[in-house]
Amino acid sequence: MKLQPVDRISGIAPKDFIKDYLNKSQPVIIKDFISKDSTCWSKWSYDYFKQIAGDEQINVYGKEENSQNYAASPPVGKMSFGQYLDTISSGPTELRLFLFNLLKIRPELKKDLTFNDVTGGKVIQNLPFMFFGGEGSATRNHFDIDMSHVFISQFQGYKRIWLFPNDQSDLMYKLPYNFHSIANLKTSSEEEFPGLKLLHGYEALIGPGETCYMPAGWWHYIQYETEGYSISVRALSNSFSEKIKGARNLFITRFFDDTMRKIFKNKWLDYKINTAIKRANKAINRLEK
């Protein structure tokens, strides 16, 4: 696996961002996507979140290796939001919050955010999601089901993100009818998964105030270098075919997968794993020739 660093930019005009990054599906770190004048920078903290929403009961997520057969991993437990924030503050933990909608629970928080929309109005600002994680936690390698562009902005702590274009799906052992791979990019052996040796991607390390633009359909493996949290907003793909793929994934593919899993149980997962390995071997042979 070969990774190159993601470029950093600031002060870019929307027309230039669309031309140089959005239309080219080129990841980049934006240093001023969230305005420095936003009140979130002086107002938001774990203590403040506990004050306004600490008693909210939330689902927490952990390791995803045991949920390969599911498009979305099930939660591993439930606790109050305040307890969770205390947990990640006290030391390393694999517990994460996934697509947590604190801004829906406390919509007044949206007023604390001012976006510098480098897409010229394409970003859907009223649908932000928050992601929290403890030091050492990580998501599985995946691409987003709706095939949208994603802008993930870091507010506390540091995240390391590995990014790969969708045309390398076979080399990552993508499960058919799912949106993740069976290989763990960090811990899987290249002897067991030789396709990983041929991957070419990008690495982004983002800290407070920085935003990683992840193009539509791109794979991403997100690692929490420290505890922390971020907010993501989306923009619809500029490709009609990707919009169709996203709609098909949301309304057809995942329900078909659920139905087949209920009917065939573990045999369905075995079929998907075998198919992923066969496709990877074909991709390897094609590239080595």
Contact 171, 284 (CB under 8 A): yes
Report pTM. Answer: 0.95
pLDDT of residue 4: 97
Residue 50 has pLDDT above 80, yes or no: yes
Q: What is the pLDDT, as a whole number, of residue 288?
A: 87
- Least confident among 70-84, 105-119, 191-205: 70-84
Number of Cβ within 10 Å of residue 187's Cβ equals 8
| Greatest CA separation for the chain | 60
> Does the pLDDT of residue 278 top 90, yes or no?
yes
- The predicted-structure confidence for 250-262, as pLDDT tens digits, reads as follows 999 999 999 999 9
pLDDT at 66 over 70: no
Q: What mean pLDDT is predicted for residues 120-137?
A: 93
Pair of tokens at residue 145: 């089901």
Q: Residue 90: which pLDDT band, with cuts at 50, 70 and 90?
A: very high
Cβ neighbours for 275, distance < 8 A, ≥ 6 positions apart = 175, 176
Q: What is the pLDDT of residue 232?
A: 96
pLDDT tier at 127, thresholds 50, 70, 90: confident
Domain 2-288 architecture: Sandwich (2.60)
Given the DSSP bridges, would you call strands 211-214 and 28-30 parallel, antiparallel or unpaired? Answer: antiparallel
What's residue 74's pLDDT? Answer: 85
Model pLDDT for residues 224-242, shown as the tens digit of each residue: 999 999 999 999 998 899 9
User: Do residues 245 and 162 make contact, with C-beta atoms less than 8 angstroms apart?
Assistant: no
> What is the domain partition of the chain in residue ranges?
2-288
- For residue 253, give the H/E element and its range: none
